[in-house]
Amino acid sequence: NAGVTQTPKFQVLKTGQSMTLQCAQDMNHEYMSWYRQDPGMGLRLIHYSVGAGITDQGEVPNGYNVSRSTTEDFPLRLLSAAPSQTSVYFCASRGRMNTEAFFGQGTRLTVV
Amino acid sequence: AQTVTQSQPEMSVQEAETVTLSCTYDTSESDYYLFWYKQPPSRQMILVIRQEAYKQQNATENRFSVNFQKAAKSFSLKISDSQLGDAAMYFCAYRSSRGAGNNRKLIWGLGTSLAVNP
């Protein structure tokens, strides 16, 4: 039982490049979310999903796309990376009957 | 909208001593959950303790306990017998327990950095 697995752990991108952050969970959780963590700003919700085929925007969705084709996977796509997207990204999942969310190990992304 | 405030950006404690981290929140809801998460230098978010608002009894997990004051909207974390491994950033978080959409997300404080001195 691996929990929530995020890849990669570190990534450096050039401005304008695109990439996908991967997130997978093996707990059959319905809810999955992406957060970004910035110094002095705490964690902010980017996108979330309540089940396969259903996604919605969080607080800071601009510049990011998500999809949820399966219960297990919830990738986050950066369409055209910008320096303002330099951050630490966390994927989280929670079962409908769970109280707490479970987090991946985070991805430190630097856009130069 | 709900907000979470951690008024202590940094705290320090001597090994084996007790420290209390503060958290206040603002909400008009009556049903919700509160959490303390620990983030060590490894960056992993680790759940320390949780509290359901409908429970009057304060949650306890080994050396970690909370003082939940619902009327005052206060949710402090007490760490007893502090250990070097407790050094980390601690985040207080809130989640609504009902309402389409609102119960899907955590609302976070800005964190308290805890140093443990040997």
CB within 8 Å: B35 and A100: yes
What average pLDDT score do residues B91-113 get?
83
Which residue bears the tokens 């090994």? B15
Please name which of B85, B90, B115, B88 lies closest in space to residue B13, comparing C-alpha atoms.
B115
| pLDDT at res. A57 | 93
CA-to-CA dists, residue B20 to A43, B75, B88, B89, B106, angstroms: 22, 10, 14, 13, 22
| pLDDT at res. A24 | 97
Degrees, nearest 5: CA angle A75-A24-B112: 85
CB within 8 Å: A100 and B52: no
Query: Which residue out of A37, A41, A43 would a mutagenesis test of the B interface target, given it has the greatest number of B Cβ atoms within 10 Å?
Result: A43
Q: Tell me the residue ranges of DSSP E strands in chain A.
A: 4-7, 10-13, 19-25, 31-38, 42-51, 54-57, 64-66, 76-78, 87-94, 102-103, 107-111
The better pLDDT of the pair B105, B26 is held by B26
| pLDDT tens by residue, A72-86 | 999 999 999 999 999
pLDDT more than 90, % of chain A: 87
Report CA torsion sign: B117, B5, A9, A91. positive
Query: Which residue out of A100, A107, A108 would a mutagenesis test of the B interface target, given it has the greatest number of B Cβ atoms within 10 Å?
Result: A100
Phi-psi region of B63 (alpha: psi -120 to 50; beta: other; left: phi over 0): alpha
| pLDDT tens by residue, A40-97 | 878 999 999 999 999 999 999 999 999 999 999 999 999 999 999 999 999 999 988 8
Residues of B in contact with A106 (CB under 8 A): 43-45
DSSP type of residue B84? G
pLDDT more than 70, % of chain B: 95
| pLDDT at res. B3 | 92
Band of the pLDDT at B100, cuts 50, 70, 90?
low
Candidates B45, B47, B104; nearest CB to A90: B45
